[in-house]
Structure 1
Amino acid sequence: MSCSDDQPMTADPLDSIDDAVAAAAFRRLVRLLRHRSDAANIDLMGLAGFCRNCLGDWIAEAGDLDKESARAIVHGMPTAEWKARFHVAATPEQLARMEESMAKNP
């Protein structure tokens, strides 16, 4: 699964949010995703076009970290452990929804 990392070309009010406020909101999102292990990455991809791994990849890119370290931050544990505990195989329907959703990403 790949995640879009395109940046908007025009001024965006999102850019005016104080970094501390944005960081607090981001941490709340990550903590919610850690708590909601029942929300499968494939379903997140199908609905929103991003998942926990995407967030980790964005952290890696923004912070000059390796992907595994950044994904472990989002998962709250090493990715392999998270997968062993919570990952379930995707159905063909989930994969189709993901593909459709990803096509909408910029």
Structure 2
Amino acid sequence: MNIDKKTQTEIEAATFRKLLQHLDNHKEVQNIDLMITADFCRNCLSKWFVSEAEKLNTEVSIEDAHQIVYKMPYIEYKEKFQTPATVEQLKAFNSKKK
């Protein structure tokens, strides 16, 4: 690959924004489903955002990161879109932990 670091960073940022948009367009995909299949979820993205900000000496709260990832406060997202985990989901999630 022959692209400069600035261009690569811009592409990575645009890709991240596209991922967030894709997740926003598919709210039916529950965080637990993401954890089962991909071993990360929207909350992980929020935590990673905070962690990377810290590395750049920039303070970002988890609430602010949730706002970026969920496009609304996390509590609001949970109330509107998060459903209780099914027995099957919990079983699949717990079996991955082992």
TM-score scaled by length of structure 2: 0.80
- Give the letter for the 2:17 counterpart: R
* More moved, 92-101 vs 79-88: 92-101
- Give the letter for the 1:92 counterpart: V
**Partner residue in 2 for 1:54:** 44
Q: Does 1:79 align with 2:74?
A: yes
Note closer, same or farther for the CA distance 1:44–1:92 as it changes in structure 2 (3 Å cut): same
Note closer, same or farther for the CA distance 1:101–1:19 as it changes in structure 2 (3 Å cut): farther
Q: Which is bigger in relative contact order (C-alpha 8 A, separation at least 6)?
A: 1
**Partner residue in 2 for 1:39:** 29
Q: Percent of aligned pairs with the same residue?
A: 38
Aligned alpha-carbon RMSD (Å)? 1.8
How many residues are aligned here?
A: 88
Structure 2 unpaired stretches of 5+: 55-59
Summarize deviations over 1:1-49 as a string: whole Å, max 9, x none. xxxxxxxxxxxxxxx7811111111110001101110111110111100
Of residues 75, 89, 92 in structure 1, which corresponds to 2:87? 92
In structure 2, how many angstroms separate the alpha carbons of the residues matched to 1:100 and 1:26? 29
Structure 1 unpaired stretches of 5+: 1-15
TM-score scaled by length of structure 1: 0.75
Give the number of the structure whose residues are more often helix, by fraction.
Answer: 2
